[in-house]
Structure 1
């Protein structure tokens, strides 16, 4: 493996960590403009993180290691996912380990860590948010697995680098019935996993509708900064995964620095475009009732299952 592969891994992590708050600020700015407001600016999330890091860490009485380690686990697991996933290049030293099941397990580990932290506080809000989060995760994780598995059937591998490289060499796959169904299912799963409207509202503090915010109410100072940074990184990684599977063109498959630079620029453009579409849609969408969320996620699971069936039959016909 050439040095370009190591550069690609480092560049992906730097872009995700440094660009995730900017993506969040950009989405807030898009929403503000569409709602007729000036907005706080694209760099506001980074200013918030800097402000929180300067404050004193406050730990509720009675909490244990789960509460203190959850923010670090959330950021660490997301950073590992950003390094593993072929967001900019399919030829990296860790591309062989970028298995679908491993990536989903790492994302689930961050979710479980926050849920345990919410339970560790012993508050009603923390327990309520943890219960809701795990209910959503139990429906979202299988959907992500099935959706990506559907596009992996023609490749014959669950390795994300192999899937994206195979799609680049066969541009018609994303436009096939299986590809469209898988992307639609994955898009709904991304909304739920990232805690966005219509599944969750990251800007709300109403006790009857909170999911993610209910688990992190007791955090303050540097711990809250890590939680916010980790949540923004998860959104950036999930949008990057969606963009890489739906439109993988531009992802570097060789060991050239100019190609890697172009791939990073295209990654930023694709992720920003998806973030813009999501922010614009959130202006017109309303959050669904909590009891309707399982129905929405069950529908996305059904789309993913149909994508697997369609991919299996289409692959079988192609072989014949």
Structure 2
């Protein structure tokens, strides 16, 4: 392995470690911000890590009658999200995955984790599992195209669907990010991220009302280490998608080399940007109410429409 390849591999591993270690802290920060705004003390930023440690010590329980889909889904959810974190240029555009981080591949991996969890919900044979899986796939059918089109709009000026090339193009020409197509794409991606991660107003991650649950309804039968993996996977997806939004909308600070010092500084800046986005989202959720389920497709259709307008605007601006 050459020095350049080794540095690229180290940068890619650093991104994955940062996501795995920082995702629970991001969730804890968001819970703490929300608690403070609601007049509560909160459990602390490190509480999600303590919850995961507690779950890992418990005995795993598998419901009677479930098959491989139920048992494999938690590990598959974490694995696909870790691969996405490795492929994305979150900290550097010169990782070992540069040239392989195609937009379609990244969205497909995210969809694979979603489908695995939905199949696990169906595999339990419970009413709530099937209901949650049905709702999750309805949301995913609208969210995945919106993410594809939003990032595709940003890829047209770069002439490539490789995420590293898109980010590098944004670094060279920052004006395109403030163009109509860039702003529309960012707005569409932000709405899609809310739905993909199960945040308000699409879903309430803290709800215990069975008839309004989406994500939670699919994982009611999990316990112990399996539930820990499901929770970690959901937290990682939130961190990765907020990182994608921060990287595409504000790519400044991302390293263009795989030098250790540059990558370390870029990861620190990425943590700050993601923490700001997470805190802003948590603060906004205090003022938002969950929309009724039959209104969710209307909201996601708006995100898809914004993405289509972004693609159209980007096409005409690029052609001009």
TM-score normalised by the chain length of structure 1: 0.98
Within a 5 Å distance, the mapping from 1:129-278 to structure 2 comes to 129-278=132-281
1:73 to 69, 72, 76: 76
Per-residue deviation, 1:261: 1.4
Per-residue deviation, 1:12: 0.3
Per-residue deviation, 1:220: 0.2
Per-residue deviation, 1:262: 1.1
Contact 2:184–2:306 (CA<8 Å) still a contact in 1? yes
Contact 1:164–1:244 (CA<8 Å) still a contact in 2? yes
Per-residue deviation, 1:92: 1.0
| CA distance in 1: counterparts of 2:54 and 2:273, whole angstroms | 30
| CA distance in 2: counterparts of 1:258 and 1:141, whole angstroms | 35
SS in 1 for 2:158: coil
| CA distance in 2: counterparts of 1:295 and 1:255, whole angstroms | 43
Per-residue deviation, 1:208: 1.5
| CA distance in 1: counterparts of 2:237 and 2:30, whole angstroms | 15
1:291 to 284, 294, 312: 294
Contact 1:126–1:214 (CA<8 Å) still a contact in 2? yes
| CA distance in 2: counterparts of 1:295 and 1:131, whole angstroms | 17
| CA distance in 1: counterparts of 2:290 and 2:297, whole angstroms | 13
Per-residue deviation, 1:94: 1.1
Moved more, 89-98 or 209-218: 89-98
Moved more, 1-10 or 198-207: 1-10
Per-residue deviation, 1:257: 2.1
- Name the counterpart of 2:122: 119
Per-residue deviation, 1:74: 0.2
Per-residue deviation, 1:183: 0.2
What's the RMSD between the two structures over aligned residues? 0.6
Contact 1:2–1:255 (CA<8 Å) still a contact in 2? no
SS in 2 for 1:112: helix
| CA distance in 2: counterparts of 1:101 and 1:253, whole angstroms | 23
Per-residue deviation, 1:132: 0.1
The count of residues paired between Structure 1 and Structure 2 equals 317
| CA distance in 1: counterparts of 2:121 and 2:174, whole angstroms | 44
State yes or no: 1:300 paired with 2:303. yes
SS in 2 for 1:129: helix
Contact 2:11–2:258 (CA<8 Å) still a contact in 1? no
| CA distance in 2: counterparts of 1:19 and 1:83, whole angstroms | 14
Per-residue deviation, 1:260: 1.2
